[in-house]
Amino acid sequence: MKQELFYMLEHAGFGDNVHEIAAEGECRVLRLDDGSGEAFMTMYRVFEGVYLMYNDFHLKHCQSQYQNADTVLCIDHCREGRIEHENLLGGRYYMEAGDLRIDRRVHHAGTVHLPLSHYHGITIGFMQEAASASLAREMPAVPVHIEALSEKFCPENKEFLLRANEPLNQLFMQLYHVPKQIRPSYFKLKITELLLMLETLDPAACQEQRQYFPASQTDKIQEIHALLTADLSKNYTVEALSAQFGMPPATLRKIFKAVYGSPVYQYLKSYRMKAAAAMLISERKCSVAEIAQRLGYDNASKFSAAFRDVMGMTPQAYRSGREES
């Protein structure tokens, strides 16, 4: 692997909590160590100064120690899950499935939260000077200038957020399952296609105004989430939570959905049913009625209906099916 990629990894600064665990040819597998779970980043060198990285995170939060060299441009695509980021002014925003972000990684160090405890996506990174030189050398007919794209989408080091752009989303989806034998050439083709598409994109015409929330409010929502999930036998109303945490009900509902992707009651229903699914298998001596009570349902019929809504089958069928398998 070229020296410039070693430099990017070891000196441009992922931090001492990221370690290489495997390497083959132009590919490196990195692991992020964190007490709340594990994260793996599989990185491929595509051109000099250009890399593609698959991100597979299964954790609640992690500490990013990334230090930008001031010359990096990154394009992130979220395939599944949610991830919290913070802008230059301290406001927090959330990436979800189908979202695209372009940024210079200027404000990337700090605590990263994953509200659903998982995130899967792709990062395409450009070390601008080296990337521009290699693209001009290897793709001379392609009129792409990384520095110009950086200024176009990230003026004053702002991040650019794009949601539900079907052509770009489709391009990234094609990158998630690429046969090993064609990856190097395919990555070059798709990254070139991506850059050409970005050349034609007008940021002002397509950017969705994403909401940013003060850290004090999202921290409070995380406290509410911790309370709701600490004892699933207890039920809370939004009004009671509003009074307890000093947040207007409308604000609570709005920010909870922004952080966790679903309204409070819908999210908690799904959370309970997934917990019920695990209990049906791990605690086979417990009846469905007992599990229902432990999850805050006094009526087993209502519990069964809720379970079917979320899991697509009754608790009894779920337990029986797992026993057969």
Q: What is the CATH number of the domain that holds 278?
A: 1.10.10.60
Residue 9 has pLDDT above 60, yes or no: no
Same domain (yes/no): 51, 113: yes
Same domain, 10 and 145: yes
User: What's the pLDDT at 1?
Assistant: 43
Same domain, 265 and 228: yes
Contact 215, 90 (CB under 8 A): yes
**Domain of 141: which CATH number?**
2.60.120.10
What's the pLDDT tens digit per position in 203-232?
988 766 678 899 999 999 999 999 999 999
> Given this model, what pLDDT does residue 107 score?
65
Report pTM: 0.87
Q: Out of 24-33, 118-127, 235-244, which region has the weakest mean confidence (pLDDT)?
A: 24-33
Which of 67-71, 158-162, 244-248, 298-302 is predicted least confidently?
A: 67-71
Per-residue pLDDT tens over the stretch 140-184: 888 888 999 999 999 988 889 998 889 999 999 999 999 999 999
Q: Which of 64-73, 214-223, 269-278 is predicted least confidently?
A: 64-73
Closest CA to 192 of 152, 155, 150, 140: 140
C-alpha distance across the termini of the chain, in Å: 45
Domain end position, chosen among 155, 190, 206: 206
Quick one: average pLDDT of 34-43?
A: 89
Residue 285 lies in domain = 214-324
Structural domain count of the chain: 2
pLDDT score, position 137 = 92
pLDDT at 288: 94
pLDDT band for position 19 (cuts 50, 70, 90) = confident
In this prediction, residues 300-324 reach a mean pLDDT of 89
pLDDT at 6: 46
Q: Phi-psi category of 98—alpha, beta or left, where left has phi over 0 and alpha has psi -120 to 50?
A: left
Average model confidence (pLDDT) across the chain: 89
| pLDDT score, position 70 | 58
Indicate whether 202 and 220 sit together in one domain.
Answer: no
Q: Is 115 exposed, middle or buried (0-12, 13-18, 19+ CB in 10 A)?
A: buried
Domain boundary among 146, 178, 206: 206
Do both 233 and 193 map to the same domain? no
Does 227 share its domain with 315?
Answer: yes
Same domain, 141 and 237: no
For the segment 237-242, the average pLDDT, to the nearest whole number, is 97
What does the pLDDT average to over 69-89? Answer: 86
Confidence of residue 279 (pLDDT cuts 50, 70, 90): very high
Asked whether residue 173 falls in the same domain as residue 280, the answer is no
Whether 10 and 134 share a structural domain: yes
Residues 197 and 256 in one domain: no
- End position of a domain, from candidates 206, 239, 270: 206
Q: Are residues 182 and 251 in the same domain?
A: no
Q: Is the same domain home to 32 and 150?
A: yes
Average pLDDT estimate for 110-125: 92
